[in-house]
Amino acid sequence: MIAERIKKARDVLKLSQSEAARISGIPLGTLRKYEHGPSQPGAEAIVRFTRLGINAHWLLTGTGAMLLDGQPCPVADSAQELETQGASADYVALPPCSAARDAADPGERADSGACGDALMFRKDWIRIELDAAPSDLCFIRVSGDSMEPMLRAGDVILVDTRARHPNREGVYILRMDGMLLVKRIQAMPGGTLQISSDNAAFVPWLIKLAELEQSDLTVVGRVVWSGRRL
C-alpha cells in the first residue's frame, strides 16, 4: 500500500510528519490522510514526495530502491514498458528531455536534471488535459530568470516534442549553439517571428520564418505545463 510506503520512507529519512510536509510542500493534513487513508496521492503529490528523496517508482510499486541516490535509473519510454516493470497502470514515468544534456548557458538555460528525477503523471490526465501520449512528452527544469514572472528557476515544465514547427504563438524550448532556451515565440507581419523573454531585461530578436530551418536555431517543442514549489 502506498500509505505504508510513505510512512516507511519517512521513518527511514527520520522526518516527522510536519518536517516532511514542510520540505515536500504537501499540506500536513493532506500528508496525514495519505498515511492513514483513504486519500491516495495524485501525480502532483508524487512529484512532491521526490523532493524528500523518495523514489517515485518505489512509492507507486514497492519495487526498486526506496530512496533516490543520484545513480542511473531506468525510465520507461512508454506506458506499456512501465506496466511491464510493475508500475501502476494509471501512471506513466516521463523522462527528462535528452536534448537538455548539453545545455550550458547560465541565466537562460533549461536543465534536464538527473535520471532519478523522472516524474510520474496519470495517463488519463496526459490524454485529456494535454491531448498527448506519454511518448510525446519530456520534462526539464528551468534555470535562470529570463522568463520571470511566468517561469522561475527550479520550475518543472513539460515539453510537447511534436511541436517542432511554431505554427502557433506560445512558449517554446529552442536549441541554439548547444544551448536550450525557454522563449516566447510571437508571429509578426511579413513572415517574421519575434523571439522574446517575459523578463524585460532580456532583449528580443527577430527571425524570418523561411530562414528558421536554415539557421542554427532548432525548435525542440512547446511548453504545455509548468509546476513549481511554493
Q: Which of 69, 98, 123 marks a domain boundary?
A: 69
Residue 67: pLDDT above 70?
A: yes
Q: What is the pLDDT of residues 5-19, one digit of tens each?
A: 999 988 888 888 888
Residue 20 has pLDDT above 50, yes or no: yes
Give 81's contacts (C-beta < 8 A, 6+ positions apart): none
Same domain, 56 and 93: no
Picking from 23, 45, 69, the residue at the C-terminal end of a domain is 69
Domain enclosing residue 104, as ranges: 84-230
Q: pLDDT value at position 197?
A: 94
Q: Is the dihedral of CA 58, 63, 67, 69 positive or negative?
A: negative
pLDDT at 223: 95
pLDDT band at 66 (very low <50, low <70, confident <90, very high): confident
Same domain, 121 and 20: no
How are the residues of the chain apportioned to helix, strand and coil, as percentages rounded to the nearest 5? Answer: 30, 25, 45
In tens, the pLDDT along 163-177 reads 888 888 999 999 887
Which residue, 60, 73, 55, 75, is CA-closest to 12?
A: 55
Q: Does the pTM of the predicted model rise above 0.85? A: no
Among residues of the chain, what percentage have pLDDT more than 90? 20
Residue 192 lies in a domain: yes
Determine the pLDDT at residue 72.
Answer: 32
CB-based contact 42:122 (threshold 8 Å):
yes
pLDDT score for 69: 53
pLDDT given for residue 112 in this prediction: 39
Query: Both 20 and 109 in a single domain?
Result: no
Higher-confidence residue: 140 or 196?
Answer: 196
Going through the chain in order, the beta strands assigned E by DSSP cover 91-94, 110-111, 119-122, 137-142, 156-160, 170-176, 179-188, 192-196, 205-208, 217-227
Q: Are 52 and 13 in contact (CB under 8 A)?
A: yes
Enclosing H/E stretch for 2: helix 2-12
DSSP 8-state assignment for residue 203: P
Per-residue pLDDT, 124: 87
Spatial contact of 78 and 94, defined as CB atoms under 8 Å apart: no
Query: Are residues 3 and 101 located together in one domain of the fold?
Result: no
85 has pLDDT over 50: no
Determine, yes or no, domain membership for 78.
no
- Residue 103 belongs to a domain: yes
Of 43 and 108, which is predicted with more confidence? Answer: 43
Q: Kindly state whether residues 11 and 120 are assigned to the same domain.
A: no
| Domain shared by 53 and 117, yes or no | no
* Domain presence at residue 213: yes
- 79 domain residue, yes or no: no
Say if 27 falls within a structural domain: yes
CB atoms inside a 10 Å sphere around CB 48: 21
Q: What sign for the dihedral angle of Cα 32, 36, 39, 43?
A: positive
Res 110: pLDDT: 45
Q: What is the CATH number of the domain that holds 15?
A: 1.10.260.40
- Judgement on whether residues 2 and 112 belong to the same structural domain of the protein: no
Asked if 53 and 96 sit in the same domain, the reply is no
- pLDDT band per the 50, 70, 90 thresholds, residue 211: confident
Highest mean pLDDT among 39-53, 54-68, 201-215: 201-215
Number of domains forming the structure of the chain: 2
Residue 173 to residue 30: CA distance in whole angstroms: 34
Please tell me whether residues 65 and 144 are part of one structural domain. Answer: no
On the question of pLDDT at 180 being above 50, the answer is yes
Residue 53: the pLDDT is: 81
Q: Is residue 136 included in any domain, yes or no?
A: yes
pLDDT score, position 117: 52
We report the CATH number of the domain holding residue 93 as 2.10.109.10
Lay out the sheet containing 110-111: strands in order across. Answer: 110-111, 137-142, 156-160, 217-227, 170-176, 179-188, 192-196, 205-208
pLDDT tens track for 92-147: 778 777 533 333 232 333 443 433 456 778 888 899 999 998 888 888 888 889 99
Distance CA 13, CA 32 (A): 17
